[in-house]
Structure 1
Amino acid sequence: MTDISVVTTTSQVENRSWLLSPHGTEPGTTPSITVDVSTFTAGTHYPNGYIPSGIVLAKITASGLYGPYDSTALDGRQITTDGRIGLLYGSLSVKTGSTKVGGALVVHGFVNAVRLPFQAGSGGITAAAKTALSLIHFSA
């Protein structure tokens, strides 16, 4: 029997308006990472089921996975001085029950800081994060 039931899917239109040029996004320049979904807040970081590109991510010391940069965290995501930080290159779909999702980091390039998805708080761009992202030139 043929199944003709209606299936609903969601999609995300990619918004990389925060990138000022493709520099730093060429093949081989965006390191692959794995994101720990449990470090994100559903209603805040991915209210529509997608973690947006441009969120500031930092490495969790114990697991080696990435979560939103947070200066108050105690798991390594507060450290921004040793190259363990970057901007998420492409939006990530978070399905119900997901614990890990693969992605890529932007670690150098040209970025319009006011267009990043989070200006403050967990995953936001701060003065310390800008300093740690020394290979990214921020405008605005």
Structure 2
Amino acid sequence: MPRFTTEIFGAGDQSWLGSSHGIGECRTETVDISAFTKETHFPDGYIPSGTPVAKVGGVLVPYDAEELTVDAAGVLAGFVFTDQATDGVADLPVALLDHGRVKVANLPGAFTAPVAEAKRAATTIVYL
């Protein structure tokens, strides 16, 4: 008898979206899961929708929000669009929202909209 498994997942909490603008143009990028920690980034087995990320070496890593960090992980690439289940081992493709409107108060964790132009150079996002 074959072994079947059932997996139930959805888009996650997307209340952080300030409009529908940009959601049809999310691009696929790869998350370097080794740069994320289970306790901090995916304690429930998934990277939550709205997680801010940076692009370093062609892959997505956690965004460094420290205002003085304006290169590598300090440049916001966008936000993970939907919840992404992970085993914590294999890199995974994700939809990345890099333009549109974002309600900062509804993002997972603590996020402050970047002030430095260099931190915002890779996105076109209006923060609400």
- Please report the TM-score for the alignment, with normalisation by the length of structure 2: 0.79
1:116 Cα offset (Å): 0.4
Give the counterpart letter for 1:88 in structure 2. Answer: V
Q: Which segments of 5 or more consecutive residues in structure 1 lack a partner in the other structure?
A: none
- Distance in 2, matches of 1:108 and 1:13, equals 18
Give the counterpart letter for 2:27 in structure 1. Answer: P
- Distance in 2, matches of 1:110 and 1:116, equals 12
Q: How does 1:1-140 map to 2 (within 5 A)?
A: 2=1, 9=7, 11=9, 14-26=12-24, 29-61=25-57, 64-71=58-65, 76-78=72-74, 80=75, 85-98=77-90, 100-119=91-110, 124-128=111-115, 132=120, 135-139=124-128
In our comparison, the structure showing a higher alpha carbon Rg is 1
Q: Mark the CA change 1:115 to 1:41 in structure 2 (over 3 Å): closer, same or farther.
A: same
Question: How many corresponding residue pairs?
Answer: 123
Identical-pair percentage:
32
Q: Mark the CA change 1:8 to 1:43 in structure 2 (over 3 Å): closer, same or farther.
A: farther
Q: Mark the CA change 1:129 to 1:51 in structure 2 (over 3 Å): closer, same or farther.
A: farther
Q: Is the 8 A contact 2:34 2:89 kept in 1?
A: no
Q: Mark the CA change 1:23 to 1:60 in structure 2 (over 3 Å): closer, same or farther.
A: same
Residue-by-residue CA offset, 1:52-86 (whole Å, 9 max, x unaligned): 1111110113xx1111101568x8212x2xxx611
SS at structure 2 position matched to 1:127: coil
- Please report the TM-score for the alignment, with normalisation by the length of structure 1: 0.73
Higher helix share: 2
